[in-house]
Amino acid sequence: MQKIISYPISIVYYTLFLFWLCLFHPIQWICFNLFGYNAHRWSVAILNWFLVRNTHLLGTIYSFKGKEKLPKNVPLIIVANHQSLYDIPALIWFLRSWHPKFISKKELGKGIPSVSYNLRHGGSALIDRKDGKQALSEIKKCGEFINKNNYSVVIFPEGTRSKTGVPKPFSVNGLKMLYKFAPDAYFAPVTINNSWKMSRYGTFPLGLGNRLEFQVHEPLKISDYKFEEILEKTEKIITDNIKK
């Protein structure tokens, strides 16, 4: 029954979703080219406020806990499990004070209104998964960038989204590059729950009435750990808090 009801609601949702992306594309361009970095990042944050609110049409509610644990004015490597594209607007909006960037596949860097522009101009790393050398070079640049400016970067070390909520093993290389080239940073583990239910039927129709939960855990200062230790600890914290 939910699936049947969701068809017309999902059409309205996607129509508005595309509207917000198209509306904010020129807004981003104007902010970036005429007013600079801060105006651009706020245009992105406000866009993602609309995208988060747009999901309320689907009966979605959000619980975002623990961000008060995150230190200010230091670089952060936000490490999270990945369940759906709906993870991203919430992370951008609720963590806007930490200037979040993303480690993203290069295919997203063109063709998508607003999204592609932000990824190209907002400080994120666009990586080619088939070219390890290029990917690591881009992640290195991003690590140096956040370390210099006290920004944050979001990385989903599973690599691809979990369609059932069950976490996949973490990939090491991207995290290792950030660990090495953002030595002043903290690893900030974040556990995401129930986001996968938004896409339980695929991209259409969408799941209804879901409570998306984001739990920020105690950050781990890179300088206090060897890489293997911080990796193991971070992965365990995140996966132990995923609801089965």
Work out the pLDDT band at 230, boundaries 50, 70, 90.
Answer: very high
* 91 within 8 A of 80, measured Cβ to Cβ: yes
Query: Cis link prior to 205 (omega < 30° from 0)?
Result: yes
The Cα 185–Cα 108 span in angstroms is 26
Average pLDDT over residues 214-238: 95
Cα of 25 vs its chain's centroid, Å = 19
What tens digit of pLDDT does each residue of 96-119 get? 999 999 999 889 889 999 999 999
What tens digit of pLDDT does each residue of 14-61 get? 999 999 999 999 999 999 999 999 999 999 999 999 999 999 999 999
What tens digit of pLDDT does each residue of 133-162 get? 899 999 999 999 999 999 999 999 987 777
Q: CA torsion angle for 157, 96, 143, 134 (degrees, to 10)?
A: 60
pLDDT of residue 237: 95
Instruction: Please give the tally of structural domains in the chain.
Output: 1
The Cα 78–Cα 147 span in angstroms is 13
Query: Where in the sequence is the domain holding 167, given as residue range(s)?
Result: 2-240
CATH code of the domain containing 69: 3.40.1130
pLDDT at 2 exceeding the cut of 80: no
pLDDT of residue 132: 82
pLDDT at 78 exceeding the cut of 90: yes
- Torsion over CA: 161, 165, 170, 175 (sign): positive
Average pLDDT over residues 178-189: 95
Work out the pLDDT band at 221, boundaries 50, 70, 90.
Answer: very high
pLDDT at 224 exceeding the cut of 80: yes
